[in-house]
Amino acid sequence: MRLAYYSSSSGNTARFVARLGLPAERILPGAPPRMTDPFVLITPTYADGEGRGAVPKPVIRFLNDADTRGHLMGVIAGGNRNFGEAFGLAGDVIAAKCGVPCLYRFELAGTAGDITRVRQGLDRLWTQIRSTAA
Amino acid sequence: MKDFAPRPVARAINWNRVTDDKDLEVWNRLTANFWLPEKVPLSNDVQSWATLTDDEQQLTIRVFTGLTLLDTVQASVGAPALMADATTPHEESVLANIAFMEAVHAKSYSSIFSTLCATEEIDAAFRWAEEDPHLQAKAAKILDDYAPGSDPLKKKIASTFLESFLFYSGFYLPMYWSSRAKLTNTADLIRLIIRDEAVHGYYIGYKFQRGLERETEARRAEIKDYAFSLLFELYEIEERYTAALYDGVGLTEDVKRFLHYNANKALMNLGFEPLFPDSVTDVNPAIMSALSPNADENHDFFSGSGSSYVIGKSVATEDEDWDF
């Protein structure tokens, strides 16, 4: 089980992932990694006021690979509550498209509480996947 | 001698050669989000306004006048001051957009006033804004950093704190009214402002981070110290401002939690770690759902206790599998 994440040059999602302290594959524009094991995706949300363009383009290209998409277990979305109903919308869009749950949403680079909850949540998810596979 | 100095070449902005993609991205976001107060049916709040007590009405008018003052500072001083330090012509254009939208925000409060209030009440609130020591103190603190010749990074810190922190003692109130089904159209307008301020704080904070990267380690440490000490100074002013406004309606402590929560976001926009622990940022959930309606449905996989996951093994998983 692994993590993959996208972060733009603002670095919010990269800082969130760095504080998680778990190995993670960065999705760089132009050279998306191919995932060969179950993984969770962490992505920021880019929606405008109408909710358009929520999923960053490099993430769309990353998920366009069917093998990679097939290993996706869930999505964690960054965002900002100031965007109202569009807060963390990338998580909803990906969840609906790929048939996986949106596991969690955090704002900007996340708080200490977010880091704790996501670590614990991923731990439980990993454990369950292993026991299901066994 | 000045007459003989070579004049710099005048340059036309070329949007087909963008050196920082964030400039184009934020320009597109801001222009897609453009709005004017006339699109919000504020007059539907007239009846609701009449249900507020005199004290609640006065509080609301003062809060909105305080917000008007900050928007005015940002439109006419803050964003233009940042323009002088722009590193790309596209950044100047984005800042011109920010300056204009702040002017739209400032004018929006006047639309609310003219719809809901009597002229003498409005005039009294504008007099109050000029005399209130806490409101004047926060404006002065920010304006000091905007003075010509100030450190470009310090200007961006002050500006990010204005956009992402100082507004929120005011934004709390329309979210509070909205959570009690009052002034809901006014709240819709304020949400448009809140959305814009998020992009402004994000962008100015982003440009701050790019500028900070170019500095020496010693200077980075100095700037970080400056940011935190300015935040503490502004926070003390905000505490007093909040108490003076909200003690009468018993909301001061909840507003302060909202301030802590937003101070953390302002720090994150600057690339710093949040300061206030979760124990003091637990804003009333009704305020959070007024801020982002429907955002918390079906999203407690990691935050809920004891929920178990149903995990599909095949690629062709159906949505129903995840329907908890």
Distance between CA atoms of residues A81 and B194, nearest Å = 9
**Taking the alpha carbons of A115, A116, A118, A119 in that order, is the dihedral positive or negative?**
positive
Q: Locate tokens 């917000």: which residue? A: B67
Query: In a mutagenesis test of the B interface, which of A36, A75, A81, A89 is the best target, namely the one with the most B β-carbons within 10 Å?
Result: A81
Residue of B nearest to A114 (CA): B303
Q: What is the pLDDT of residues B86-118, one digit of tens each?
A: 999 999 999 999 999 999 999 999 999 999 999
Between A53-67, A87-101, B179-193, B297-311, the lowest mean confidence (pLDDT) is in B297-311
CATH superfamily of B21-32+42-288: Ribonucleotide Reductase, subunit A (1.10.620.20)
Instruction: Supply the mean pLDDT for chain A.
Output: 92
Cβ of A10 within 8 Å of Cβ of B302? The answer is no
Question: Does position B312 have pLDDT exceeding 90, yes or no?
Answer: no
The enclosing domain of A10 has a CATH number of 3.40.50.360
pLDDT computed for residue A121 by the predictor = 93
Q: Do A108 and B197 touch (CB under 8 A)?
A: no
Count of structural domains within chain A:
1
Name the residue among A46, A69, A81 with its Cβ closest to that of B291: A81
Q: Which token pair is B206? A: 């982003």
pLDDT digits (tens, 9 = 90+) for B39-81: 999 999 999 999 999 999 999 999 999 999 999 999 999 999 9
Nearest CA in chain A to B292: A84
Span B154-176, average pLDDT = 98
A84 touches A45 (CB < 8 A) = no
Domain ranges of chain B: 21-32+42-288
pTM over 0.90: yes
Measure the CA–CA gap between B289 and B264, rounded to whole angstroms: 19
- Does residue A102 contact residue B319 with C-beta atoms inside 8 Å? no
| Domain boundaries, position A45 | 2-133
Q: What is the pLDDT of residues B203-250, one digit of tens each?
A: 999 999 999 999 999 999 999 999 999 999 999 999 999 999 999 999
